[in-house]
Structure 1
Amino acid sequence: MAAKDGNQGEDMSGPERRTQLGDLIRERRAELGESLDTFAPRAIDPESGTRVTRGWIYRLERGEKITPPVYEELAALAVAARLPIERLQDAAGAQFHGVDPLRSGTGEAVAYVRKLDQLPPDQRDRLLRLIDTLVPPHSSD
């Protein structure tokens, strides 16, 4: 079982430091009303057993220099955050690699996603559950 706790990695300093994943996790913890001490112990990928430590999550949320997460670490965060892995993958891609997940979508899809950001969290969750009944999360395009 690997544990995420290093702080080496890309230099995140500079005028345009990206924090999408850190912001997502910090905001989600606030929505759930959880401290780092209650959130971090649940950050375990059930398939690989990979854990993400409290210290690494703390540094992520503060925008400090960290090693970008691998899939299993994102899966561990997804469990603790109770979010679909795809949301964390998009945020990590944006933060660590400057990837905008909306650029590859159709204009219509981009418009829907931008509107989705305006919904309160409970309505977003209900809409995602509805979409998942129509198009299962792991179906191919």
Structure 2
Amino acid sequence: MTAEAAGAPRTDLSDLVRQRMQELGLSFRTLADACIDPENPEDGPLWRRSTIDALSKGQRIKAPDFPQLRALAAGLRVPIWQVQEAAGSQFLHIDTVWSADGRVRALVEGFREMSREDQDKVMALMESRRQVRQR
């Protein structure tokens, strides 16, 4: 049984935040100040230092909304899809699964917790969709 199946919390977004903060040499305050939604900069920073601190430690926080995800992506200097995937996994247990060639993507609830057999079925379905789209 995997850690996820045993009920261990997921920390994908928390891990991303810690990793990028370390890579960029950011403090919690600096990151919070940089978390401005590029589509609505007049709203100012959308994250508080204390919330980023809690998130980075894997503590429970309220799931962020889409403007907050855009703001966090800007602050972390990563593409929005990377933050969306991490947040979807951590807060909703929705896994982004890519085909072997990287051309087909599926959002699958609980993919990590599935048996290997069921994961293979999802991958086969994705492959069949890729073949249909190429015709």
- Deviation of residue 58 (structure 1)? 0.8
> Where does structure 1 differ by over 3 angstroms across 4 or more consecutive aligned residues?
none
Task: Tell me, in whole angstroms, the C-alpha distance in 2 between the residues paired with 1:72 and 1:37.
Answer: 19
Match of 2:8 in 1: 16
Gaps of 5+ in 1: 1-13, 111-141
Match of 2:114 in 1: none
CA RMSD of aligned residues (A): 1.7
- Deviation of residue 108 (structure 1)? 2.6
Match of 1:76 in 2: 71
Task: Tell me, in whole angstroms, the C-alpha distance in 2 between the residues paired with 1:60 and 1:37.
Answer: 13
The answer as to 2:96 corresponding to 1:101 is yes
The answer as to 2:80 corresponding to 1:85 is yes
- Deviation of residue 109 (structure 1)? 2.1
Paired amino acid for 1:36? F
Q: Which of the residues 27, 39, 44 maps onto 1:35?
A: 27
Tell which structure's C-alpha radius of gyration is larger: 2
TM-score normalized with structure 2 length: 0.65
* Identity across the alignment (%): 39
Which digits, 9 at most, give the CA deviation of each residue in 1:5-27, with x for residues without a partner? xxxxxxxxx84110000110110
Local SS of the residue matching 1:107:
coil
Task: Tell me, in whole angstroms, the C-alpha distance in 1 between the residues paired with 2:99 and 2:34.
Answer: 36
Determine which structure has greater relative contact order: mean sequence separation of CA pairs < 8 Å that are 6+ residues apart, divided by chain length: 1
Gaps of 5+ in 2: 1-5, 104-135
TM-score normalized with structure 1 length: 0.62
Task: Tell me, in whole angstroms, the C-alpha distance in 2 between the residues paired with 1:107 and 1:80.
Answer: 31
- Deviation of residue 43 (structure 1)? 0.7
Match of 1:60 in 2: 55
- Deviation of residue 29 (structure 1)? 0.6
Which structure dedicates a bigger proportion of its chain to strand?
Answer: 2
